[in-house]
Amino acid sequence: MRVSKIDMRSGALIENRGGVARTTGAAISPLFVGFLFAKPSLMSAPFFIAGTLKIVYDLLLYKEFVAVKPPEERVPATR
């Protein structure tokens, strides 16, 4: 099933192409979490794994955009 939505500003049709990876991850992750929840000693492991992945994601975003300045802070080019 293809999910599409309309951009309210331009009226253009936008297709959701990132759904396959998200759906696959959502379908597979309970399998791994189930194995970790089965042992009481590993019950907190999924939370640490998720937190670590979130921190890594945030650091990568920071690294990617730390040098990007908003248009208000850019120095105009002189002629």
- The pLDDT assigned to 79 comes to 66
H or E segment and range at residue 5 = strand 4-6
Q: How far apart are CA 69 and CA 66, in angstroms?
A: 8
Write out pLDDT tens, residues 53-71: 999 999 999 999 998 888 8
Q: How far apart are CA 6 and CA 39, in angstroms?
A: 46
Asked whether the beta carbons of 3 and 14 are under 8 A apart, the reply is no
Q: How far apart are CA 68 and CA 66, in angstroms?
A: 6
pTM score of the predicted model: 0.56
Asked whether the beta carbons of 16 and 3 are under 8 A apart, the reply is yes
